[in-house]
A and B are shown apart, each in its own frame.
Chain A
Amino acid sequence: MHFPICNDECAEPRPTPLYAACAAHSISNSWTAVNGWAAARAYSNPDDEYRAASDDAALVDLGPLCRYTVRGPDAASALARLTTTPVGELAIAESARGLILDAGGAVANFADLTRLSGDLYLLTTATPADRRLDLATRGFDLAVANVGAEVAALGIVGPAAREAAAAAGIDVLSADASAQGRVRGVELAVRPINFGAAPGVEIIYPAEDALVIWERLRRKRQLPVAGIDALEILRIEGGAPRLGVDFLNADLADAAGKRRPDEIGLPHLAPPNRAWFNGRRAMKGAGDPERYLVVLTVDADAAPVGAAIFSRNETVGRVTSAAFSPKLRRSLCFADIKASALDRPLEVGPVDAGGGRVLARLHDTAESRLAAAFRESLRAATDFRRSSV
């Protein structure tokens, strides 16, 4: 899950629990707001932060994401209804990714679920889900609390994330499991996260102790802090769409703007044969997608957001978000394209003042590989639906 769209017009962004710690490292002093919380665009410069995050490890203040605890005997069934995560299959300390769909099967939010104990779950969403959560849990025996202000959420992103955490005494059991523990008297929970291309961990602990864990991590290794701009590059490389930028929340969009999981490249997060979730019945009746969100490499230094995608002189889509990849020395962008144009050669334009068009190619990302494998497995498996074969 990535941060949702920034709201630059936010009048008074709140400082996250980790703000005091992070702000000290901000050289460029470039801030914006996400979900009403202050978030840094960059601390030093995006290139260095990106390099650290993709080759080594970098710290990220994950405070702006929305967190809820759901506790009670009916917590599992209510969450299974609300999200597409495999709630019933989660063992204690396990984490899973999923989506929140509306009754029409369109994506309303991202959802990461962690089972902290027998009947206590931690739900992390990209944008506030209070209303939907309130409606979804009516009539169930459970208690919901929005804990965003009470926890500090520190992310370590990069291949060396686990080592960095382990060096600070934070025990991360395995690649898939989260853990709970105590470091220097502070209760914390750790779960694996995926920031687009880079793996990582998220450490959640009480806000009052924000500096304790931060100091501990930094004492072992002077990790840089990464801002949103650096993470943008990582997420586009990884193929993770951004809510509000690449597609609209179903609760906000009109009929034409709603997107289903397969239309945004994440069909594997809402498998139809999982235990029933909100929107699954609508998914069954839906036809093939007409539009797809894909990642393209563009043979240019920049691909302006909003630039048109052409196929044989016909406009078939638009660039929704873009970033320059230092690795590929090319611009990578997310684009919303007509399904029929996927197999044809594509061009993006205009990319510069001259108005020229440049070749664009479909780019394989971690998410698109997962999606392809999922589609393949669906085709191969025996389906409870009558097939048209």
Chain B
Amino acid sequence: MSDFRRRGGPKIEGGVDAVVLGASADALAAAALLARAGLHVVLIETGGGRFHDKAEFAPGYFAADGDPIAAALDQEVIDALDLYRRGLSFARRRLETFVRFSDGAALVLPGDPEIGHEAVAAMSEADADRYAGFIDAERKTARAMAAWFSGDATLDLSPDVYIEKSTASLDDMLAGRFEDARIFDYLRAEAALGAAARPSEPFTYLALLRRMAGDAAGLQGGLAAIEGGGRGLVNALRRAGQAGGVAIRQTDRVKSVIVEFDRVAGVEFDDGGQIRAPVIVSGLSARETFLDFIGRARLDIEFARTLDEPVARVAGARVNLAVNGPLADPNAAAALDRRFLYAPSPFELDRAFRLAGEGSCGAPLIAEMTFPSAFEAGLAPQGCAAASLHLHPVALRPLSDEPWRAEVEAAARVAFGRLAPGSASLITALEVAAVDAAAPPTAAAIERRARLTGASGLEGYFFCGPEAQIGGPLSLAAGRRASEGAMRYFRHGGID
């Protein structure tokens, strides 16, 4: 089919089976999967979320968008799109995690979670067995929940266990479990990273299981560094899309989604032009997807309440550091190609949450650090390193807020100083690169995702935006689910 022009009027394009909105990894994955299934797909890279190439944040130091650490990539997407052949590879698998505690002690957890207890034994012999037993049991539970985290409606777990795990707070499940309180500090930091609620509040335990459920490069609970960083994944997805025939267009002028008789019929642009398609997949935020493109007047009142939920006051900040020279602390300097985590004491973390809630940023706080220059050459001058810090919790403020940015930078220095004692003076430049609102508790996020992906009632409209992603690390399951729903819909002749 060809597109036809009205004489002198806006262009209406037909012959398209699916329009995908957005430039996020989930949108790219959804587009590539639909193309692979034989649909004619047009992807419109609209709005933010476009992955930039690396940017120089200090002379000689480069940082890139996206998370270079894979912890939860959906294996089905990798297989279906053959991403390894499209250029996805791992610079390093089974990353170690180097944990620092508030008393200065360090714990190096191996890349394989199953032998973590051996490292714990060095810190506290009494807890080694308990830790092993606990991790084993929880990894098993996490495995049983993995499909549910990815978007399966059913959960293969007994109701009692589900209620216990989903309603408990981290404190409920972990306080008093180990003799050495630092083990609790570590688990707390893992689970609270990215969460809006304090570890003592209900529903927070599930985040730990979510972390344990993801897998990277075939290992459940493992971490891997993506070759090329976050861009490496996105480029592989783009290639997969292009191989399938996805037409990628860049424009910021999408005005609305056309709805006819409760089903979507296409996309309309600011200039009146249209692309008609029976399937639309949106990787944009829920607000844009529903409120801006459909409008309240055509959304159920109960559904619109989901879109009006307030955003958390608390956020995570990403800071890039230029580290001019080798680290002083031999423990930290031993290997830069791993993940560093500062696990604050309960008092430090409570204080950080309080200050974040009050609009500023405390220190120390939870800090997760990697050195992208250790995985990719050319990101820092010889003998130096580019570091990427994820700090949590900070207040949610715009990047332009100067006093807040100064506080975040100060917290970054403190965090770096705790992780690599004696090296704080090596920092020659800091850039607060991004701030992301903290996530609601996992079960709440899953409920919200279910509503956003299912309850709008608009036939042919599928959602894989940021609210459909559960947990911090990128998974692509949302894009996969959206494309599966779209394919089912398309194959049944447009009837659900």
Contacts and interface: CB of A to CB of B under 8 A. Distances in A.
A and B touch in the complex (CB under 8 A): yes
A281 B297 contact: no
Contacts, number: 48
B301 interface: yes
A132 B301 contact: yes
Of A140, A278, A279, A386, most buried by chain B (CB within 10 Å of CB) is: A278
Contacts of B304: 135, 138-139
Of B291, B296, B301, B495, most buried by chain A (CB within 10 Å of CB) is: B301
Given A77-B297, A135-B301, A386 B495 contact: yes
Interface string B463-496: 0000000000000000000000000000000011
A138 B308 contact: yes
Interface in B269-307: 291, 296-298, 300-305
Interface in A129-150: 132, 135-136, 138-140
A81 B458 contact: no
A21 B303 CA distance: 45
A281 B308 contact: no
B300 A281 contact: yes
A140 B296 CA distance: 8
B49 interface: no
Contacts of B302: 102-103, 278
A220 to B, nearest CB: 45
A276 interface: yes
Contacts of A78: 297
B455 interface: yes
B296 A103 contact: no
B180 interface: no
Contact of B301 (A136, A276, A285): A136
A284 B262 contact: yes
A280 interface: yes
A74 B295 CA distance: 12
Interface string B436-474: 000000000000000000010110000000000000000
A281 B457 contact: yes
B347 interface: no
Interface in A262-305: 276, 278-282, 284-285
B261 interface: yes
Nearest to B495: A386
Contacts of B298: 81, 276
Nearest to A80: B297
Nearest to A386: B495
A138 B297 CA distance: 10
Nearest to B259: A276
A284 B457 CA distance: 10
A223 B110 CA distance: 92
B296 A139 contact: yes
Nearest to B297: A77
Contact count band on B? 10 to 19
Nearest to A102: B302
Contacts of B297: 74, 77-78, 80-81, 140, 276
A239 B301 CA distance: 30
Interface in B12-54: none
A103 B262 contact: no
Given A103-B455, A139-B296, A386-B495, A281 B301 contact: no
B53 to A, nearest CB: 38
B32 to A, nearest CB: 30
A81 B303 contact: no
Interface string B253-273: 000000001100000000000
A282 B297 CA distance: 16
Contacts of A278: 300-302
A82 B291 CA distance: 17
B305 A135 contact: yes
A102 B261 CA distance: 19
Contacts of A102: 301-302
A140 B455 CA distance: 22
Interface string B106-131: 00000000000000000000000000
Contacts of A139: 291, 296, 304
B391 to A, nearest CB: 34
A235 B277 CA distance: 49
Contacts of B296: 81, 138-140
A103 B261 contact: no
A282 B457 contact: yes
Nearest to B302: A103
B262 A276 contact: yes
Nearest to B291: A139
Given A78-B297, A140-B296, A386-B495, A280 B303 contact: no
A281 B262 contact: yes
A281 B261 contact: no
A99 B278 CA distance: 31
A135 to B, nearest CB: 5
A78 B304 CA distance: 13
A171 to B, nearest CB: 35
Contacts of B300: 103, 278-279, 281-282
Contacts of A276: 262, 297-298
A136 B303 CA distance: 11
B297 to A, nearest CB: 4
Nearest to B494: A386
A86 B146 CA distance: 47
B303 A384 contact: no
A81 B304 CA distance: 12
Nearest to A104: B302
Interface in A72-104: 74, 77-78, 80-82, 102-103
A103 B495 contact: no
Interface string B308-332: 1000000000000000000000000
Of B262, B300, B458, B495, most buried by chain A (CB within 10 Å of CB) is: B300
Contacts of A140: 296-297
A280 B298 CA distance: 10
Nearest to A281: B457
A280 B262 contact: yes
Nearest to B455: A103
A19 B302 CA distance: 37
Nearest to A82: B301
Contacts of A80: 297
A274 B303 CA distance: 20
A279 B299 CA distance: 9
A384 B261 CA distance: 8
Nearest to A282: B457
Contacts of B261: 384
14 contacts: A78-B297, A81-B297, A81-B298, A81-B301, A82-B301, A102-B302, A103-B300, A103-B303, A103-B455, A103-B457, A135-B301, A136-B301, A281-B262, A386-B495
Given A81-B296, A140-B297, 5 more contacts: A82-B301, A140-B296, A276-B262, A276-B297, A281-B262
List the 10 shortest-distance A-B pairs measured between CB atoms, nearest first: A281-B457, A103-B302, A103-B300, A77-B297, A136-B301, A139-B296, A384-B261, A278-B301, A81-B297, A135-B301
